[in-house]
Amino acid sequence: MPIATVNPANGETLKTYEAMGAEELERRLQLAEATFRTYRATGFAERALLLRRAADLLEEDQQDIGRVMTTEMGKPVKQARAEAAKCAKAMRWYADHAAGLLADEEPADSDVRDSGASRVLVRYRPLGPVLAVMPWNFPLWQVIRFAAPALMAGNVGLLKHASNVPQTALYLEDLFHRAGFPEGCFQTLLIGADAVEDILRDERVRAATLTGSEPAGRAVASVAGEMVKKTVLELGGSDPYIVMPSADVDRAAQVAVTARVQNNGQSCIAAKRFIVHADVYDAFAERFVASMKALKVGDPMEEDTDVGPLSSEQGRADLEELVDDATRSGAAVLCGGHRLRRPELPGWYYPPTVLTGITREMRIHREEAFGPVATLYRAGDLDEAVLIANDSSFGLSSNVWTRDGAEVDRFVRDLEAGGVYVNGMTASHPAFPFGGVKRSGYGRELSGHGIREFCNITTVWHGA
């Protein structure tokens, strides 16, 4: 795949970039290693000052970088600006909290005495250069939620971004440079996917994090495992959205639309499978389908656009294949279901779509639909709702709508997911851990759990 900005709203190639050669990559790896030796010795106050400065600059750049993101991957520009603001918030959160999250810990006095020590500390120390392999769908947020905690912990970052968002990738390196971080603290590597393995095998790279597809995660995890390097993987998701009879059905249907089509439906944590109790199924379906039909599909640079183009022609083709497979096998189309053919929208658009009558044999039941396509399931009771929800190889997040406390307890206990969001849609926040189970990956980002993922957790024992 070429490293290029191709506007998904019209298919026009705007900029192309040459991949970095072996000499330049070696220079950058040497720089990362050298910078780490000195940067690791800086204090939290110094790192926080730099990170807050980067957050200020990002806010100043919000309009411009928002338009760049929209041009590169097609999200509505109002969502792109919101993404930039969210990144600045997360940077400030880590600047404020990292020192406390990584403060030395002292075990209980009784355990210290029992070990024969006079004092024991648990200390968090940085690992070194961390390679981040990041996707295009949230081209700022996915990077910042790795970079902010990694830099505050004293690590340095090497970014291999998706090949279709090179301008955003280069902006991120420039952002940290302008904020005053030492040269080499954060570097963008303009390389193709075929160059990742060699970098991951390099002894100077101490760990890796990847957000992306399951095949990409398997490839990185395989190499990292061979090299005995720590990894954090956030892979696909096919999140359930369960609506029970006690729920506010109007509100649940309204939020469901945003939960499905945010970021043009191209989000791992977007709700994708809508599992509705039979008692409220018809009422929910009527409201949900009507609202999906009412969404404006159009130019993502226009402020009133709800759904822009998919990021690539291949992405649209993949989505079409899932829908076509389902309809050939008997699924009913309640809205959408075929690509838009409007001359004023020449790009890779696909309309908001709702399918029902889904069976286990259909690909869309098993695979992630990365675009504005929702599947509706009818559940007879809570047990069946849980069964349908867990009938997936993914386990990223989940959403449940109920006013019954006993039902909430049951969903929290039994749903196989990294998060359960009650009477609301899944959303990431810097204070809360984020990640999945099963084939959605392992490890956690954000919160204290996320910042400690790339730390050497060191026991310091003092004799009596």
Give mean pLDDT, residues 222-244.
98
Confirm whether 87 is a catalytic residue.
Answer: no
* Whole-angstrom distance, CA of residue 1 vs CA of residue 163: 7
Tell me the pTM: 0.97
Strands 207-211 and 186-188: unpaired
Position 318 confidence tier, pLDDT thresholds 50, 70, 90: very high
Burial label for 414, CB within 10 Å (0-12, 13-18, 19+), is middle
Mean pLDDT score of the chain, rounded to an integer? Answer: 98
- pLDDT for 247: 98
- pLDDT for 457: 98
- The per-residue pLDDT for range 112-148, each reduced to its tens digit, is 999 999 999 999 999 999 999 999 999 999 999 999 9
Tokens of 432: 């809360």
Find all residues with CB under 8 Å of 248, minimum gap 6, and list them.
401, 403, 423
- pLDDT for 72: 98
- The per-residue pLDDT for range 84-113, each reduced to its tens digit, is 999 999 999 999 999 999 999 999 999 999
- pLDDT for 91: 98
* Closest residue by Cα to residue 391 from 240, 233, 234, 213: 240
Q: Is 11 left (phi over 0), alpha (psi -120 to 50) or beta?
A: left
| 8 A C-beta contact, residue 133 and residue 209 | yes
Give mean pLDDT, residues 229-236.
97
| CA atoms within 13 Å, Cβ hemisphere of 3 | 20
* Closest residue by Cα to residue 355 from 460, 274, 249, 241: 274
End-to-end Cα spacing for the chain: 61
| 8 A C-beta contact, residue 347 and residue 8 | yes
Q: Looking at 72, 87, 185, 268, which residue is catalytic? A: 268
Confirm whether 234 is a catalytic residue.
Answer: yes
- pLDDT for 341: 87
Position 1 confidence tier, pLDDT thresholds 50, 70, 90: confident
Give mean pLDDT, residues 440-461.
98
Report in angstroms the alpha-carbon separations of 20 from 29, 139, 192, 195, 321: 12, 20, 9, 10, 35
| 8 A C-beta contact, residue 189 and residue 160 | yes
CA torsion angle 18 151 235 456 (round to 10) = 120
Give mean pLDDT, residues 46-71.
98
CB atoms < 10 A from the CB of 55, how many?
A: 24
- The per-residue pLDDT for range 209-218, each reduced to its tens digit, is 999 999 999 9
* Whole-angstrom distance, CA of residue 134 vs CA of residue 231: 13
- pLDDT for 464: 84
Position 394 confidence tier, pLDDT thresholds 50, 70, 90: very high
Q: Looking at 72, 83, 173, 234, which residue is catalytic? A: 234
For tokens 């226009």, the residue is 302
| 8 A C-beta contact, residue 322 and residue 369 | yes
* Closest residue by Cα to residue 398 from 438, 439, 426, 440: 426
